[in-house]
Structure 1
Amino acid sequence: MGKGGVIYILTNKNRTTLYVGLTSDLITRLHDHKTKKYTNSFTARYNLDRLVYYEIFHSITEAVAREKQLKAGKRQTKIDLIEGFNPEWKDLTDEVLKW
């Protein structure tokens, strides 16, 4: 059995920009985003450090396919996903850290 993956969506405090990412270790990846480990990255430049959505997959292949689907989709599709999952757009990082 292969390793699973998580797709996630980050935004900034004003919700002006959305970022769709993929990882096999969401906790570590969130830490990287919040501390701006990669200072020249898109997420660091636009202060995208609020986790507002995620999906967990049993295989990385499934996660990659879903990430491509979301990235190719319209912004409104992502907003609809977020609002269905997290209507208040609260930062879900604390929830994930309890895993």
Structure 2
Amino acid sequence: MPNYNFFTYILTSYNKKVLYTGVTNDLDRRLYEHYFGLDQLNSFTSRYKCYYLVWFERYQYIDHAIEREKEIKGWIRDKKNKLIELDNPDWRFLNKDIMDWPPAK
């Protein structure tokens, strides 16, 4: 069986006041889409400028990634903060670790 990469991820705004949880099979492409508002007109990430990756997990199967996304979306903010801080205690923006940042059109 081939290995696939699916990601559950959390983005934040520059001031870290807003969080967005999503799922994708291509983290580079998805970060690009969020940054340029290509996901959809007036999307949540565009409206609140949630472009900064602060946490992600990789999964082999899409259903596991979606299940995790739903789980995290049901949490209160404090629990999401604790999840982020387990891997990223300084809330460092991880975009540059994944791709050239900021992306060029």
The answer, yes or no, to whether TM exceeds 0.5 is: yes
Structure 1 residue 34, shift from structure 2 partner: 1.4
Which residue is 1:4 aligned to?
Answer: 5
The number of aligned residues is: 98
Unaligned runs of 5+ in 1: none
After superposition, the CA RMSD in angstroms is 1.5
**Partners of 2:35 and 2:42 in 1: how far apart?**
13
- Cα distance in structure 2, aligned partners of 1:22 and 1:16: 20
The letter of the residue matching 2:67 is A
Match of residue 91 from structure 1 = 93
Task: Normalising by structure 2, report the TM-score.
Answer: 0.86
Residue in 1 that maps onto 2:56:
54
Which ranges of structure 2 fall in alignment gaps of 5 or more residues?
Answer: 101-105
Report whether the alignment pairs 1:76 with 2:78: yes
- Structure 1 distance, partners of 2:5, 2:54, is 20
Structure 1 position 36 matched with structure 2 position 37: yes
Moved over 4 A (4+): none
TM-score when normalising by structure 1:
0.91
